[in-house]
Chain A
Amino acid sequence: MDLDLIQRTFPFFLEAAWITVQVSVLALLLGFVVAIVLVAARLSTVFIFRCLSRLYVSVFRGTPCLVQLFIIYFGGPQIGLELEPLTAGVIGLGLNIAAYMAESIRGAIANVDPGQVEAARSIGFGRGQTLLLITLPQTAKLMIRPLGVNAVALIKGSALVSTISVVELSYTAQRFISSTYKPFEIFIVSALLYIVMVYSVRLVVDYLDNRFAAR
């Protein structure tokens, strides 16, 4: 065990972990916005919107995220879409997680009493208003756990952007492994940082879930 190596490389890993956090948070925000649009389309009265939403979810869940990233980053320039690795990574991860988040949100919405929607509609709320002001706030507590699972998956999935040369945690780990030939030491450092991120998100999710479930 080369403790000196761990000590020397740690600052680089800390910096890389910060990139991982940035990528994950930005992708999560993008994913949430897209997911809301997908759910709204899925619950819309317009047939074509419902179809498009289903198609989106089915395609993004039916193909590997890695391939989606490659299409966006390597294939993008062919259709006039030249993106920086970080931007492409955030867009790819965000569009991918949106499909999963849409299913989480839809699952939670299905659990809201239909009487709530009827009541809102009968006092004159539009469909969009009902969804935004009545249904979604009530589903918030039901969404905490599934969205937390999505967030954890996203942090681990963010390792994929190392393949399009975003200098995040996994990329840095690969670089150091091939330059030092000490995979176990490097794994310990990088794994530790991932574990801190993953399990702190889990703790927050558990806390929020307990707090809101009690009400």
Chain B
Amino acid sequence: MQSLDLSIVAPYSELLATGLGWTVVMFISSSLLSVIAGIAFALIVLYAPKLLALPVRFMTWLLMGTPLLLQLYVIYYGLVQVGIDIPAPVAGIIGLSLHFAVYNADVIRAGVLSVDPGQIEGARSIGLSRGQTQCYIVVPQALRKTIAPLGNNLIVLLKDTSLVSIIGIAELVYSAQLAVSETYSPFEFYLAVAVIYYAANLVLEAGLHLLEKKVEMSR
């Protein structure tokens, strides 16, 4: 049993800061992509012909029924197997985005279904096309209702970016692992990382709260 010495973390602050940078990169790119793909998936499941909707439904079933960890691992090594040698961060972003797109699509679909059908009839009767009705009338109203559940998904996403450490992306957890292999002080480093995640999570929650309020007021 060795004693705890939190000062050991200080020399590695630069390493951890770089790790945090990668965590932020993974988070921002995956959250943008997962929301965009989530909207697309939701619209496909709702309106596209069966032939297009079926694969999306199958993917939803598959991605919701298996762990993200396994998905990341298979996407990275699977693509390498079929000869697509993509860099790990790209595989990580694809894995996180797909996984969360499916969950985002689920809440967006519920939001779209909760839009009053009179809104669609109204838009169509003043001459908007189907596509325009979706873009300008349905999706904006649906998004307003889904801001809170989408925010919850993003909060989960921020924490789940830690999983991409298993495919060797040098984000926070991976950086801590590097530092631990040099110092043999796992407790201090993982504790420091936990504190950083906690702070990042507080910032994200505050940001989402502000966004929710803003959307609430624009009604």
Contacts and interface: CB of A to CB of B under 8 A. Distances in A.
Nearest to B205: A62
B70 interface: yes
Nearest to A195: B65
A174 interface: yes
Nearest to B197: A63
B163 A187 contact: no
A183 interface: yes
B201 interface: yes
B146 interface: no
Interface of B is mostly: helix
A191 B62 CA distance: 8
Given A79-B1, A173-B73, A194 B185 contact: no
Given A64-B159, A78-B2, A70 B73 contact: no
Interface string A141-167: 000000000000000111110110000
Contacts of A59: 194, 198
A184 B198 contact: no
Interface in A164-182: 169-170, 173-174, 177-178, 181-182
A52 B32 CA distance: 35
Contacts of A74: 180, 186-187, 190
A75 B186 contact: yes
Contacts of A186: 74
Interface string B151-178: 0000000011011011000000100100
Contact of B4 (A63, A70, A78): A78
B137 interface: no
The main secondary structure of chain A at its interface with chain B is helix
B173 A64 contact: yes
A40 interface: no
A78 B186 contact: yes
B81 interface: yes
B65 A199 contact: yes
Nearest to A82: B1
Contacts of B206: none
Interface in B181-205: 185-188, 190-191, 193-194, 197-198, 201-202
B173 A67 contact: yes
Nearest to B184: A78
A182 B73 CA distance: 12
Contacts of A65: 159
Interface of A: 59, 62-68, 70-71, 74-80, 156-160, 162-163, 169-170, 173-174, 177-178, 181-184, 186-187, 190-191, 194-195, 198-199
12 contacts: A67-B190, A67-B194, A68-B194, A78-B1, A78-B2, A156-B68, A160-B163, A181-B77, A183-B78, A184-B74, A190-B70, A198-B66
